[in-house]
Chain A
Amino acid sequence: MRMTKVFVLAAAMAMSCGPIFSQVPAPSQKAIATTPSTDTATKPLSTRIVAYQIEAKLDPTKHTIAASETLTYKNLTGQPQQTFPFHLYLNAFQPQSTFMTEVRRSGTRGNGPDSDWDPKHFGSITVDKLEVEGAGDLTNKLEFIHPDDNNTADRTVFQVTLSKPIAPGASVQFHIVFHDVLPKVVERTGYVRDFDMVGQWFPKVGVWWKNAWNCHQFHANTEFFADFGTFDVKITLPQNEIVGAGGDLASSENNSDGTKTLVYHSEDVHDFSWTASPSFTVVEDSWTGSQGPVNIHLLMSPGHMASAPRYMKALKGSLQLFDQWYGPYPYDRITVVDPPHGGSDAGGMEYPTLITADTGAHMPQGLLAPEFVTEHEFGHQYWYGMVATNEFEDAWLDEGINSYTEVKVMDAIYGHNTSFLNFPFAQLGETEEQRNAYFSLPDMDPISRFAWKFISSDSYGGITYGKTATVLITLEKIIGEDTMRQALHTYFMRYRFTHPTGEDFLKTIEEVSGKDLHWYFNQAIYGTQILDYSLADAHSDPVKWWDTSAHGSKANAKDEVYRTYVTVARKGDFIFPVDVDIKFDDGSAAVEHWDGQDRWVRYQYDRKAKIQSAQIDAHNQITLDRDPFNNSFVKEADPRAVHKLRTIWVFASEWLSQLLAWLT
């Protein structure tokens, strides 16, 4: 997920949005001939624990889905299993759920705290019948559980206990009849007008992880966690609907009642989502990487066609660089969904081989929002989609690593200083943007905290995305850019299609770099310390300061010896070794290395020269330093920056005065 801050500017020019690409009429979606999941010609990429077969019928007027699911679960836990937990994520969209309670308390993406309840945001998933092969109808045995809090009103997790355990290595089949009520789009899912975004819509079994079931309730700040497997999904809906899905279209058939049935197949993924709208304009393209061609499906909403080439450029650039730097993209497709106006809550989200982007009808070229959202959500195909970390407990491993690679990819495509904003009068790079996100609330939560335990959504966003990215950027400066890239490549190749932990990631970094980085990780990942070094003092004084007759005399000037003091202080609690560059007015210089352990250190020099400047971290290695303005000292004051700020503020003040004087 990308917590986008999309500024809809009142742009001067209305984009003329004649379609750049031709409209593809709804009924003629082309099916790709694929073989069903029993095909063994291709070796599976993952350990396929789950096989979902789902038949669903969408009512686009009521925004409801009637469905049935057959889940074949292969018990690879190594132990007999008798109790199985399932997620029912859609039940979060009810006022007394844990999710909504936390939104009300602390806010979440797109919704501030104290948000009022809108009945249109009601969503639900109801299990009408649950049968287990060999165990019969267990609908009445279904019980809701609350592993994270005591909220008995929360119905996002249920468990069912079978009469007999399933032996290790054996499989069990669940037949579940359920129906969904989609909310008006909120938190990634739902409808707006004729657009339906269908995510987290089916009963999903938990993950056996670290020797226990891992099946958390849905929280305001959490995302998802599931096992790899296959999906065969049949979707029936009106013929005029254009569908995008995270799977290959195996067949498409028109029915006599005006509906059509589309069959999708997907392998080696852990989720399946889809979208439908009769108003999409489909843009087809392709890209060829190290694993072969990838079909690109872009579903554009009305009024947004001007952003289509922007999405495409960002997507292809991301495909190229990820393939080159981190590892191959193994799927033959990627779908990008552009939510319609009013549907931004469905934007900025990732699902295996399907992502939702975000733009506006008047998106300025200089605001690279469509680009960074596309890049970020594509990046999740690697960090989440294939390296399937636990987004509840280790959110930083997908959001944070992805935010770091977002910086790298966006800088490579759009320039280091212009990868976020690129106006003639104002530029901003991704690195700065991530830093700013971090420093908005930097010291309340460690990166490693469970996602739902952050103090607020602002802290969750700033720390999980911004701090992790900034930590990794600084780490890159410590171990080198090439080494960092190699480390991420190794991590991806080693842990793709598995569920690694934070320790797995950090150990990989240490292994590849050959360095002991515990001193860094303990503070940066597991702590809340702030890194802030400052030049506390720098001045020169005549050694014979008491001898006033010797000062100021030109004859003695060149022989006068000065004692220069440079004091460096550690204002924050984060200990980090720093370099201090000192320059004197005779052209000489000194470089000091400080381990940063103590609270301050003072350097003293006796020279026939006065200090000219002193600077901590002259090469800008420590991106994590909170305040770059206190890192340096120059003897000659330069007030130009202050004058510039004052000019702007004076003008703003006068302008406001003039506007208010309209009242007179």
Chain B
Amino acid sequence: MKTIKVDYIARVEGEGALRIRFKGGAVRDVELRIFEPPRFFEAFLRGRSYLEAPDLTARICGICPVAYQMSACAAMEDAIGVEVEGGLRALRTLLYCGEWIESHALHMFLLHAPDFLHYPDATTMARDHREMVARGLRIKKAGNALVRAVGGREVHPINVRVGGFYRAPGRGELDALIPELTAARDDALIAADWMATFEFPEFSRDYELVAIRGEREYPFMGRRIVSNKGLDLDVREYDAAFAEAQVPHSNALHSMVKGRGSYLCGPMSRFSLNFDLLSDGAREAARRARIPVPCLNPYKSILVRAVEVIHALEEAIRIIRQYEPPAESCVETRARAGIGYGCTEAPRGLLYHRYSLDGDGLIRDAKIVPPTSQNQKTIEEDLFALAPRMVAAAHREATAMAEHAIRNYDPCISCATHFLDLTMEQD
């Protein structure tokens, strides 16, 4: 029996393990194990006020707290019958741009690029590519500056509330960001061209790509969920279209399209289903990098992230140039009994929240489906498809291949509920 074991998958957010079993040279099964300790958010949310959901659920993930706040607000506003439009919606998009920029830059430069160039981390990579790592850090810093200006701080922003914000920033506060955002966009254009020179393994599968379809804008928020295989539904129909199943080997729940199977959400899906809505600079960068539409090679997700960073920077600059502080920082909210559904596009993909409220606005029931648990089955299937290449390779190389394939998805295992432990067994 041949056993290959990796103790720990580095450069992902959270902790997990991977086991691949072989029989007679053929792959028998692949288990991506998530051993991030459960924290029971959906349980302790019961009895909490609808107004508390954005701040409480932000603590599910320190990498994408804005996504949790936005999906919680969307669902609560749906439950109480409030719409947040105009300048307040633009401010939400602006805050979300900041999170995409900092989260994508973290993943592209500090976590994923070292895989393509064979370094253990970005600081080692910086010995040979200091200028590029410095560009990445500047882009990340610009994203953080944006989150701080609108949200109050980078991790777990304090300014978001159901109905809008506690305080709308003044024009001067946002205008001051333009030079840094513009410089970051130039850095991102150069970085995208650099990343396009990486070597991308030949690999693609017939994924079902699922994302929000934007109405007029490339989707950060929205209600219409579509796929390249014919799904087209309102967020209120989410539970009818998708199912979550618990598997013995993982603390995260697996998602599937009912009656079909695994699907993929995140940058590749958004890009493939909303290419026409990208900013001009982002579309041009995608053409220069020769990213196909739809994009079905997960290794190229790093290029798609670069394109989305360019889009988010151009969108942020556009919003700031048109910004007039709204007369009120939030719309009035009043508790009422009901069920609310919300979804937004976290950096890693679709983030669904559903709450049922009583007449005092206290939560009776909560359901939260983060992107990594939606992608977990797809990641396992990618590894299944790659396993024959892995079994032919030396252990060290096989581990690097597995880790690289997993990092294609920027899995945020903290969200899903830990780090990778690769075991390959040959019966």
On whether the two chains bind one another, the answer is: no
B residues whose Cβ falls under 8 Å from a Cβ of A: none
A residues whose Cβ falls under 8 Å from a Cβ of B: none
